[in-house]
Amino acid sequence: MALSISLDGKTAIVTGAGRGIGRAIAQKLADAGARVVLCDVDRDALQEAIQVIDSGGAQAAGVQGDLTKPGLPDEIVRVALERFGSIDIVVNNAGYTWDSVIQKTTDEQFQAMLDVHMVAPFRLLRSASQWLRETAKREIEAGAASIRKVVNITSISGLDGNAGQVAYASGKAGIVGLTKTLAKEWGRYNITVNAVGFALIETRLTKPMDDPETNIAVGEKHVHVGMQGQVRDQVLKAIPLGRFGTPEDAANAVFFFCSPLSDYVTGEVLVCGGGIHF
């Protein structure tokens, strides 16, 4: 008998949802019945993702903008509550790489990685905290408590370190601390807070560096992401499962923490990386 997991009646926020892993997560949640608020800096990608979800019969709303701008997290929370009346799942997925060894890493570069991987998730969760806490208190008093979910995205770079990614790894390590602390603060509100750490997933961030898609626009600046072809080949040989992960593989791992299957799991980091460790 097949296991069917429904998220009917739930509202999910997914950042960085216009393409890649974020889009796969948003689609996975929508397929399970959740109403989804997607956020992305790329307007065209965001609108396309929303249209695909809408065409499948699910409900979706979008917030376009740079998540590192202080006011955007408040806007995301406002849209979720005005459109759908609740916040039940938050997936902090938005991010990108901007790599250098430490002696070549500028202050701007280091701060940019902290801003998108640590500060932005912190602000979004802080923005949602009042509604989440007050709603949980009312539900508990009424004897009708609901379990809500936060999933933060980290990386094996943040867990094990990775040469050439001092800024990115620092940001991704920081989100683990945020995850474990909020798990302890928010347990009394029936909110589980977990993280998924990815290794090599097939996105723009892991394409060969000569691919045009690896030159990405982030606000007013352009950042060259991707991997050198020789490095990609070496890493592929080190993955026990013998392949890079797909965005759908990544979404499946996140879905576990969004679903009732993980209702008694909090403060944990699940590595989704095909068995590789740097």
Backbone torsions φ then ψ of 9, nearest 5 degrees: 85, -5
Backbone torsions φ then ψ of 32, nearest 5 degrees: -85, 0
CA proximity to 192, closest of 200, 201, 184: 184
**CATH code: domain of residue 26:** 3.40.50.720
Q: Confidence class of residue 1 from pLDDT cuts 50, 70 and 90?
A: very low
Dist. CA 116–CA 92, nearest whole Å: 10
Does residue 220 lie in a domain region?
no
Dist. CA 30–CA 50, nearest whole Å: 10
Statement: the pTM of the whole predicted model exceeds 0.85 = yes
Q: Confidence class of residue 2 from pLDDT cuts 50, 70 and 90?
A: low
202-211 contacts: CB < 8 A, separation 24 or more? 202/244, 202/245, 202/246, 202/247, 203/19, 203/20, 203/21, 203/247, 204/19, 204/20, 205/20, 205/96, 205/97, 206/232, 206/244, 208/232
pLDDT at 204: 78
Dist. CA 184–CA 17, nearest whole Å: 28
Dist. CA 87–CA 90, nearest whole Å: 7
Which pair of structure tokens corresponds to residue 266? 């909090």
The structural domain count of the chain equals: 1
Check whether 166 has a pLDDT greater than 60. Answer: yes
Dist. CA 34–CA 75, nearest whole Å: 20
pLDDT tens digit sequence for 79-92? 999 999 999 999 99
Dist. CA 35–CA 223, nearest whole Å: 32
Burial of 11 (0-12, 13-18, 19+ CB in 10 A): buried
Which pair of structure tokens corresponds to residue 278? 């740097």
- Average pLDDT of the chain is 93
Does residue 132 lie in a domain region?
yes
CA proximity to 95, closest of 205, 197, 210, 176: 205
Dist. CA 161–CA 172, nearest whole Å: 10
Does residue 231 lie in a domain region?
no
Which pair of structure tokens corresponds to residue 74? 């408040």
What is the identity of the amino acid at 210? D
Does residue 236 lie in a domain region?
no
pLDDT tens digit sequence for 185-199? 999 999 999 999 999
Does residue 64 lie in a domain region?
yes
Contact (Cβ atoms closer than 8 angstroms) between residue 48 and residue 157: no
Q: Catalytic positions, please?
A: 168
Does residue 158 lie in a domain region?
yes
pLDDT at 172: 98
Question: What is the domain extent for residue 196?
Answer: 11-200+246-271
Contact (Cβ atoms closer than 8 angstroms) between residue 78 and residue 60: no
Which pair of structure tokens corresponds to residue 140? 């508990």
Does residue 276 lie in a domain region?
no
Does residue 263 lie in a domain region?
yes
Which pair of structure tokens corresponds to residue 25? 């997560």
